[in-house]
Amino acid sequence: MKRWILVAWALTLALAAAGIAGKERLLARGDTVYLKLAPVDPRSLMQGDYMALNFAIGAQIRSAQEHQPDHARREGVAVIRRDARGEASFIRLHGNEPLAEGEYLLRFQNVPARWGGVQVQVSTDAYFFQEGQGERFAQAQYGEFRVDESGQALLVGLRGRGLEGL
């Protein structure tokens, strides 16, 4: 019995380490992409200071999904293009076709929205920060992501109107 507990414990640690290594690899090698924020509620009294995130690209993805026969799918992949500043714009939903020059993949999920309906979520729907920093982060206009070739995105920070760090 003790051996099985040790095996389970070792497997759990190995899975955790693999997950951490994957995120570290994405941080180090992922392409920088900025997604424009859409307005949201900036505070949670139960969890401390945080910004609920919603991205403008989500509305474009939802609109494109409405014309798809499988629009109720939980997960999907969008094709995006970055401008000279790195800001991403939605091109189309990905259908396994080859990407054109300058196109990137962006994975997303359709999740229940906090206020009803369905919301397109990229990576996360919240950004936590130190208590008392709400005024600083209220100026956020963009989410800064690292994105890998498969479209997996990791939020690394929030940016202001001119993409300056906050």
pLDDT tens-digit series, residues 50-85: 777 888 998 899 888 887 766 567 888 999 999 999
Share of the chain above pLDDT 70, in %: 83
Mean pLDDT, all residues of the chain: 81
Q: What average pLDDT score do residues 8-19 get? A: 72
Higher pLDDT, 134 or 142: 142
Specify the DSSP element, H or E, that contains 117.
none
**Strands, E assignment, the chain:** 31-36, 43-44, 48-52, 75-82, 88-93, 103-112, 118-121, 126-128, 142-147, 153-159
Span 25-54, pLDDT tens digits: 766 777 888 989 886 655 554 456 777 788
Encoded tokens for 67: 């014309």
Q: What average pLDDT score do residues 90-117 get? A: 87
Q: What average pLDDT score do residues 110-121 get? A: 78
Structural contact between residues 22 and 14, judged by C-beta atoms closer than 8 angstroms: no
What predicted TM-score, i.e. pTM, was given to this entire model?
0.75
Would you call 145 helix, strand, or coil by DSSP? strand
* Location of structure tokens 């609920």: 52
Domain boundaries, the chain: 30-159
